[in-house]
Chains A and B, each alone.
Chain A
Amino acid sequence: MMRTRFSLPVLAALAAAGFLLAAGILMARYEDRLYTDQQVKNTNEQAHILAASVAGAVAFDDARAAQEYVDALTANPELLAAGVFDEQGRRIAGFSRAGPVPTRPGNSGYANGHIDVAVPVSQNGAALGTVFLRAAAEPAQRRIARYIGLVLLVTMGALVIAVLSFSQSALSRRAEQLSQVNRQLQAEMRERARTEEALRQAHKMEAVGQLSGGIAHDFNNLIMIAKGNLRLLRKRLDPPAEQPLHYISSVEEALDRAAHLTQRILAFSRRQPLTPEPIRLSGLVTDMDALVRHSVGENIGIETRLDAAWWTRCDVNQMENVILNLAINARDAMPEGGKLTIATRDISLHHAPGDVADFAPGDYVALSLRDTGAGMSEDVKSRAVDPFFTTKPLGKGTGLGLSMAFGFVRQSGGYLTIDSAPGQGTEITLYMPRTLPRTEEAV
């Protein structure tokens, strides 16, 4: 990512510089060519003028006159050498700026940076001799100056492009960094909001749990006192009369129900005394099969997928309670019948499953109950584990089933998640921490 972003402008700069260079070279070559052509033309003209001028001198072998004409040409600094030859090829006059004076007329052409021009000397159609001129193609310093100018131009152009593209890439890099930081910030804000929500929920549960737990605890003691005194009363009744005994039994039954209620409140508030022991949930579900089938009734099919092999540690009675409660919830969600799927599986969690607070990564045994019922709205789902919250008609539910399950699971070091949407059914999953079996009877 960084590489491509970085190299694209550099490539563009290189390409532009290359293009500039190529264009510059082409222009220089063209100008060279133009200049050379012009120089060839000039030299040709000069040669013709000289040829016309020296015609008489060549015809009448007047070396002095010929030399005078040739010497006049030396004023032109670009002329390197000249020669005037008669028809037999003998030189009559000549000069050279450097090196030997040409001894015979060469061929016209452009070679080795100089231009050779040979022009016949004739008078009225009569061939008299030849004039030969050699001119510099272009003064070296002029050419060098031109090329230096070109190089400067190309360098400046490339530099400008490079600076522009570098600043451009720096800008876009910074913008990219900014937007990345922004995305990160937003993700963190969302995460934080989620965590806060989970924490608030946990605090709420904690507070409600403490409050109701405290009340339930005291209430339980009061019930125990009432029950104890009832027992004493029953013993002291002499003779045992049927009518009073019946009243006593009724009160005792009511007290038992009250005790049961307080037990559930205590379970939710995680204050119930638990006796955890290693257990395989798959085995527990198998053992409970008949009970669950009996509880949910005929018109709900039960499917079990028990893939978990790991052990977990929890209070078996309470776990049975929870499973039964959840199964009954599922049944109530499917009054028209449906299917209940009970599944267990081993899972290694690295991230919190759903919105759970205080998550610790590790190995868990997951137990899930999925129904094909009405499902829950978002609002209902968020309050599902609140104690005394129920969607059932008045008198049908206590609103303590899920909250008790939640409290129990949390007290056992596990997590409870709810996956539900209206019309999609509901899946409640318990994640119980893995534990090692007491003996080698595993798998």
Chain B
Amino acid sequence: MRPRLLLSVVLSALLATTASLAQSSLEYAVKAAYLAKFAPFIEWPQSAFAGPAAPLTICILGPDPFGPEFDKAIAGQKDGDHPLVARRMTALDPAVTCQILFSKDEALAEQALAEMKTRPVVTVTDSGLRAHGMISFLVIDNHVRFDVDEAAAVSVNIDISSKLLGLAHAVHQKGAR
């Protein structure tokens, strides 16, 4: 028990130090990793894709806080038969189909949420925003966590794995709406 306790103390101390040293860069590195890993835990309706091997597009709307780190994280990754692709947009484009849409800009996020309300797109909002997508980041005790709005996902036939729900900080249950 003692070594484990010691280990966790050292680890948390280490984490805390690094977090405070380079908070924003580390924070967005973690968020980038998370964003890249959501896809396997989410099931879209078939209509969400152009074909069985069509790419799964992760759109970044507005300012990009991740940089090339994110491209590195999704390089070569696949969700089933769908290769992961990143797409950066300054404004909503109806011609572009996204499966995951991230925004850290309050106004663009609000707009996107309204726009995507009936489409099978997983909206992800950054921490500190008033707008909350299906998944919304938040930072607790220097740890990046996320809330899940399961009800919103269910309404557009998106199924979020219980494994992901289990890790969420808070879950807006389906049927609560």
Which residues of A are in contact with B by a Cβ distance under 8 Å?
A: 53, 55-57, 59-62, 65, 122-126, 128
Q: Indicate if B40 sits at the interface (CB-CB under 8 A).
A: yes
User: Which segment, of B61-69, B74-82, B91-99, B115-123, faces chain A?
Assistant: B74-82
Complex: how many Å from CA A68 to CA B79?
27
Within 8 A of A (CB), among B109-148: 146
Are A124's CB and B80's CB within 8 A?
yes
Are A65's CB and B78's CB within 8 A?
no
Known A56-B161, A60-B37, A61-B30: A126·B167 in contact at CB below 8 Å: no
Q: Indicate if B60 sits at the interface (CB-CB under 8 A).
A: no
Main secondary structure, interface of B, reads helix
Complex: how many Å from CA A212 to CA B166?
142
Binary contact track B29-43/A, C-beta < 8 Å → 1, others 0: 010011001011100
Supply 9 further A-B pairs (C-beta < 8 A) apart from A53-B163, A55-B41, A126-B40.
A55-B163, A56-B163, A60-B34, A60-B37, A61-B33, A65-B167, A123-B161, A126-B37, A128-B37
Distance to closest chain B CB from A126 (angstroms): 4
Within 8 Å CB of A126, what residues of B? 37, 39-40, 77-79
Are B167's CB and A56's CB within 8 A?
yes
Within 8 Å CB of B146, what residues of A? 60
Q: Give me 21 A-to-B residue pairs in the complex whose CB atoms sit less than 8 angstroms apart, sorted by A's number.
A: A56-B41, A56-B166, A56-B167, A57-B167, A59-B37, A60-B34, A60-B146, A60-B164, A60-B167, A61-B33, A62-B167, A65-B167, A123-B40, A123-B41, A124-B40, A124-B41, A124-B80, A125-B40, A125-B81, A126-B40, A128-B37
Complex: how many Å from CA A123 to CA B39?
9
Complex: how many Å from CA A125 to CA B30?
21
- List the count of A-B residue pairs having beta carbons below 8 Å apart: 48
Complex: how many Å from CA A59 to CA B37?
6
Within 8 Å CB of B77, what residues of A? 126
Q: Of B33, B163, B166, which one neighbours A123 at CB under 8 angstroms? A: B163
Complex: how many Å from CA A55 to CA B37?
10
Within 8 Å CB of B81, what residues of A? 125
Within 8 A of A (CB), among B145-177: 146, 161, 163-164, 166-167
Complex: how many Å from CA A65 to CA B169?
12
Known A65-B167, A125-B80: A59·B40 in contact at CB below 8 Å: yes
Closest to A66 in B: B167
Q: Of A53, A125, A128, which one neighbours B78 at CB under 8 angstroms? A: A125
Complex: how many Å from CA A125 to CA B79?
6
Within 8 Å CB of A122, what residues of B? 40
Complex: how many Å from CA A122 to CA B146?
21
Distance to closest chain A CB from B135 (angstroms): 11
Distance to closest chain A CB from B161 (angstroms): 7
Within 8 Å CB of A128, what residues of B? 37, 40
